[in-house]
Amino acid sequence: MQVQRLFEKVNNRNLLIELPESFINHQVEVIVLTVDDEKLKSRRPHPAIAGKIQICGDIFESTPESYWDLPR
């Protein structure tokens, strides 16, 4: 099975697409879907841990490499 995926802006009710030559003399299925901007779901912590975490110190600064205890 071959797939060709296109994202096109629709300006009127007609849309013309050019297919690869390998599609010639084959039956094809055409599915047209609207692409909507997905709204990001607000993430929430599990109720069992919500409000129980304390942030101590700077969480954005990296720990010095000497603390990593990595083999050299």
The pLDDT tens digits for 7-23 are: 898 899 999 999 999 99
15-69 residue pLDDT tens? 999 999 999 999 999 999 988 877 778 888 899 988 888 888 888 877 787 888 7
Contact 6, 30 (CB under 8 A): no
Cβ neighbors of 6 (< 8 A, separation 6 or more) are 17
Distance CA 16, CA 19 (A): 10
Angle at 17 (CA atoms; ends 11, 21), nearest 5 degrees: 170
Distance CA 40, CA 5 (A): 24
Q: State residue 56's pLDDT score.
A: 83
> Between these two residues, 63 and 6, which has the higher pLDDT value?
6
Distance CA 34, CA 7 (A): 10
- Say what the pTM is: 0.43
